[in-house]
DNA sequence: CGGAAGGTTGATTGAAGTCAAAGCCAGTGG
DNA sequence: CCACTGGCTTTGACTTCAATCAACCTTCCG
């Protein structure tokens, strides 16, 4: 299971041993439960999702929520805080999440001392950063239709890349419409209406969370989607 | 000059030597000139701003622009691409920018091999990430007034932290209203109107880019500002 | 069978966008 | 030293996309 991290990016040597030697503890999080909390010192462990979906989130003073990223099995959930003293946002389980919580200090140590692993973690962190930037664009400069289409493209591709679905053409979208709204900066009502126009325009079919893309090209162009920012090329060096 | 980077975060030993030994080249960028380009392989060097202001930016298909971050003297401009094969966004000079371009491979090497420096760079990257997340919230879930107030707070504090201004009460804001609009996801017209309401409400005074905050508390609360995400606490371990 | 969470709909409002024209400097060059 | 330019900023009239509010409907599940 932990081999996933080494496999992602970089050829290893005795790194394998170092990674496998990391002290960890399995933990199950129920939907909506918090994995990391804003303002609190980060947990003693840095998690890796074995199964389930989690998301990062921040709240504003008036109680609205902005979802800031979504994490699938195979993602690290908290390198973002690995070297920081305080959590700057919340991480919550979306579904039932099985996490591998790796001891923070031990992980820091391995990262600081083993170049190959360090490189892998750097790439992971930088790709996450790239996704954050794309989300700023999505939320800041696209209209409702594009925002939603964009998030659908991204999620489908990432799920495929993570091996969770065989094809990008049909999948179970992990968010409710309300959560989707909070991810793209809209209201659930408007998300609902916009989804229906996508259906009406023959871009996709839908039943609750189940989505079937009928016209991927149309979806991509509605989304103004350019997958470069996901940096899948970096992950192709799979070895392990 | 390069000592700045070591001073930021971590006590060093022979690291000093390693940093000072890095091959670099000074380069001057004129306003609007590109430092990094989306879709292109990242430059052979990773820059550090000695003076001037730069920003990151992405364009959408319909030609609108979203500014994704702003960088002040003392910031690294391209750790975001240090371990990636392709640029996922553009970096442009805003003013005249004097950059210290450090050789990419050499910097990678130092980061991978010297734990103290690695830690410093990690913190830098993670804090950047935190700022990206806050921008997602800003752009996604706040109204025009808060968005603008928030960016003003952030910029003022960062400028102060960077030692560019003595007090947060009065400063030269580096962006035009149009750029400000692109940073917060509004139009220049609406930014203009909103700025005037802030003036009308006695929050600040303004003359072109020159800003004087008359009521910092009002500004902060209009902004829904909580500076945690800037992680200034991490930077207080200044030593060098 | 009943309740709750999520999804759908309609009517209405409102915040921000659009378009287009002026106004206002700061710097340039005659 | 003044007129001229071009880049910003400001203003007004009008439009539009998305928010709001408030039901109502579905589906799932105990």
pLDDT in tens, B170-188: 999 999 999 999 999 999 9
Strand residue runs (E) in chain A: 24-29, 34-36, 45-51, 54-59, 65-71, 90-93, 97-103, 170-172, 204-207, 210-213
DSSP B76: B
CB closer than 7 A to strand D: which residues? Answer: A 143-145, 185-187, 189-190, 194, 208; B 176-178, 188-189, 192-193, 195-196, 206, 208-209
What confidence score (pLDDT) does residue A183 get? 98
What confidence score (pLDDT) does residue A82 get? 95
Residues of A in contact with B77 (CB under 8 A): none
Q: Which nucleotide is nearest to A143 (CA to C1')?
A: D17
Residue A130 CA to D24 C1' — how many Å?
A: 42
The pLDDT tens digits for B41-86 are: 988 899 999 999 999 999 999 999 999 999 999 999 999 999 999 9
The pLDDT tens digits for A133-159 are: 999 999 999 999 999 999 999 999 999
B64 CA to chain A: closest CA distance, Å?
A: 7
Between CA A169 and CA A176 the distance in angstroms is: 19
CB B195 within 8 A of CB B209: no
Q: How far is CA A23 from the centre of its chain?
A: 24
B154-166 exposure pattern, b = at least 16 Cβ within 10 A, e = fewer: bbbbbbbbbebbe
Q: How far is CA A215 from the centre of its chain?
A: 24
Q: What is the mean pLDDT of chain B?
A: 91
pLDDT category at A240 given cuts 50, 70, 90 is very low
% chain A with pLDDT above 90: 81
Statement: residue B102 has pLDDT above 80: yes
DSSP B37: -
Q: Report, as an integer, the average pLDDT of B6-18.
A: 68
What confidence score (pLDDT) does residue B71 get? 97
Between CA A124 and CA A82 the distance in angstroms is: 13
B186: nearest Cα among B140, B130, B128, B137: B140
Contact A233 B86 (CB under 8 A): yes
Which residue of B lies nearest to A128 if distances are taken between CA atoms?
B129
Between CA A173 and CA A157 the distance in angstroms is: 12
Residue B185 CA to C20 C1' — how many Å?
A: 22
Q: Which nucleotide is nearest to B186 (CA to C1')?
A: C16
Between CA B178 and CA B172 the distance in angstroms is: 16
% chain B with pLDDT above 90: 81
What confidence score (pLDDT) does residue A42 get? 87
Between CA B188 and CA B181 the distance in angstroms is: 5
Residues of B in contact with A140 (CB under 8 A): 66, 139-140, 184-185
What confidence score (pLDDT) does residue A66 get? 98
Between CA A47 and CA A49 the distance in angstroms is: 6
Token pair 């899948």 is found at A232
Between CA A185 and CA A164 the distance in angstroms is: 26
Least confident of A98-112, B199-213, B226-240: B226-240
Give me A136's structure tokens.
Answer: 């700023």
Residues of B in contact with A88 (CB under 8 A): 130, 133-134, 228-229, 231
- Contact status of B1 with chain A (Cβ, < 8 Å): no
A16 CA to chain B: closest CA distance, Å?
A: 17
CA atoms within 13 A on the CB side of B90: 14
Statement: residue A6 has pLDDT above 80: no
Residues of B in contact with A85 (CB under 8 A): 231, 233-234
Q: Which helix (H) or strand (E) holds A124?
A: helix A115-141
The pLDDT tens digits for A66-103 are: 999 999 999 999 999 999 999 999 999 999 999 999 99
Sign of CA dihedral B77, B79, B84, B89: negative
- Contact status of B166 with chain A (Cβ, < 8 Å): no
CB contacts < 8 A (A, B): 157
If you write DSSP's letter for every residue of A62-116 in order, what string do you get?
TS-EEEEEEE-TT-BS-GGGTT-SS--SEEEESS-EEEEEEEHHHHHHHHHH-HH
Q: Report, as an integer, the average pLDDT of B209-223.
A: 96
Torsion angle of C-alpha atoms A183, B37, B192, B162, degrees rounded to 10: 90
CB B223 within 8 A of CB B149: yes
Between CA B187 and CA B182 the distance in angstroms is: 7
Q: Report, as an integer, the average pLDDT of B149-172.
A: 95
The pLDDT tens digits for A220-232 are: 999 999 999 999 9
B79 CA to chain A: closest CA distance, Å?
A: 8
pLDDT category at A238 given cuts 50, 70, 90 is very low
Q: What is the mean pLDDT of chain A?
A: 91
Asked if strand C contacts B206 at the CB level, meaning under 7 A, the answer is no
Statement: residue B237 has pLDDT above 60: no
Between CA A66 and CA A69 the distance in angstroms is: 9
CA atoms within 13 A on the CB side of B105: 1
What confidence score (pLDDT) does residue B99 get? 93
Q: Best of B39, B69, B83 to disrupt the A interface by mutation (most A CBs within 10 Å)? A: B83
The pLDDT tens digits for B112-142 are: 998 988 998 999 999 999 999 999 999 999 9
Q: Best of A68, A78, A88 to disrupt the B interface by mutation (most B CBs within 10 Å)? A: A88
Contact A113 B112 (CB under 8 A): no
Between CA A146 and CA A224 the distance in angstroms is: 7
């Amino acid at each position: 299971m932990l081999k996933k991290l080494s496999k992602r990016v970089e050829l290893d040597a005795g790194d394998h041993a170092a990674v496998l030697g990391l002290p960890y503890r399995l933990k199950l999080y129920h939907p909506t439960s918090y994995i990391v909390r804003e303002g609190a010192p980060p947990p003693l462990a840095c998690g890796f999702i074995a199964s389930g979906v989690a998301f990062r989130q921040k709240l504003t003073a008036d109680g609205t929520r902005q979802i800031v990223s979504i994490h699938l099995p195979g993602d690290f959930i908290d390198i973002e805080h690995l070297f920081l003293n305080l959590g700057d946002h919340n991480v919550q389980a979306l579904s039932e999440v099985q996490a591998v919580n790796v001891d923070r200090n031990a992980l820091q140590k391995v990262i600081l001392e083993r170049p190959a692993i360090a490189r892998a973690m750097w790439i992971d962190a930088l790709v996450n950063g790239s996704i954050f930037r794309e989300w700023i664009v999505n939320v800041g400069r696209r209209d409702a239709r594009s925002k939603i289409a964009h998030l659908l493209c991204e999620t489908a591709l990432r799920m495929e890349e993570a091996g969770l679905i065989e094809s990008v053409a049909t999948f179970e979208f992990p968010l409710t419409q309300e959560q989707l709204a909070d991810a793209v900066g809209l209201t659930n009502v408007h998300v609902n209406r916009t989804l229906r126009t996508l259906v009406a325009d023959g871009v996709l079919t839908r039943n609750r969370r189940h989505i079937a893309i009928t016209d991927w090209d149309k979806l991509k162009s509605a989304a103004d989607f350019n997958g470069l920012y996901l940096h899948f090329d970096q992950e192709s060096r799979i070895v392990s």
